[in-house]
Amino acid sequence: MTDPEPVRVVQLITTLARGGAQATVVASSDAEVMAADGIEVSVLAGPEVTAEGSWWDDPAIERIRVEAVADLIRRPAPLRDLAALWWLIRELRRR
């Protein structure tokens, strides 16, 4: 019997600034821990670094499959928002 396909989870967040939502995403996305439970987790995050600090340079991020989405930014920008949405649709279909 073959192993079942892993459950795939993609977490999407506009920034990896230090904060409550971001800390929850980082804590719940440890690739090794989740893989042991048959779950494949990826994080898609905007690249912005804020005054709050960022998880991008934190060693904890090394255990997470994380990818920066260039057009995913915090402040509303209709054209960039549309570009990010289009990219996300294609990326989620690919996965």
Using an 8 Å Cβ cutoff, are 79 and 47 in contact? no
Instruction: Give Cβ neighbours of residue 26 (< 8 Å, ≥ 6 apart).
Output: 16, 43, 55, 58, 60, 61, 64
pTM of the model: 0.80
Separation between Cα atoms, residue 83 and residue 78, nearest integer Å: 9
What's the pLDDT tens digit per position in 4-35?
888 999 999 988 988 888 889 988 888 888 88
C-alpha 72, offset from chain centre: 11
Could you report the per-residue pLDDT of 39-79, keeping only the tens digit for each?
999 999 999 888 888 888 888 888 888 999 988 888 888 99
Side chain identity, residue 78: P
